[in-house]
Amino acid sequence: MGETVEQVTLLNQDERVQLDPGRLKELYFQLGEAGAEDVVCRALEELAARLSHTERCYREMRLRDMRKSARSLIAIADQVGMQMLAQVAGDVTASIDCGDQTALAATLSRLIRIGEGSLSKIWDLQDLSI
């Protein structure tokens, strides 16, 4: 019998995060610098907490709570110009709704990557004094 050779391919999971700086500028215009920074900081804290909660619900297979948490990410992400994060959170809820466990695992992984990248990018934008 011949020898079996297994080859593992590592896929690069690096995605470009997109933010809407216009949305942030609009917040700063409407609320002033201090008000906008307060809203953005609270939104970032909530996003980080919701991402963590969503992942924890997945590990515990609490899909109803996971769906609720992912849905809340959509509104918060939209508020601070993270459309890609909002879109992927919507993909997570759609995967839950259709009962596709493979799609759910993939979209959750993407949600975490996009979420972490978005949080980093928005902090960088704030450092540049929008």
For residue 18, give the nearest of 75, 85, 79, 78 by alpha carbon.
Answer: 85
> pLDDT tens across 7-41, in order?
765 555 556 777 788 888 898 999 999 999 899 89
Q: 53-88, pLDDT tens digit by residue?
A: 999 999 999 999 999 999 999 999 999 999 999 999
Range of the structural domain that residue 98 is part of: 30-127
Within a domain: 112: yes
Q: Residue 114: which CATH number? A: 1.20.120
In a domain, 107, yes or no: yes
Q: Is 18 inside any structural domain?
A: no
In a domain, 123, yes or no: yes
| Longest CA pairwise span in the chain (Å) | 74
DSSP 8-class letter at 5 = -
Whether the model clears a pTM of 0.85, i.e. scores above it, the answer is no
Residue 22 falls within a domain, yes or no?
no
In this structure, how many other beta carbons lie within 10 angstroms of the beta carbon of residue 102?
8
Four-CA torsion 87, 89, 91, 95, nearest 10 degrees: -170
Identify whether 16 is part of a domain: no
Residue 50 forms part of a structural domain: yes
Both tokens of residue 30? 């409407």
Number of domains the chain contains: 1
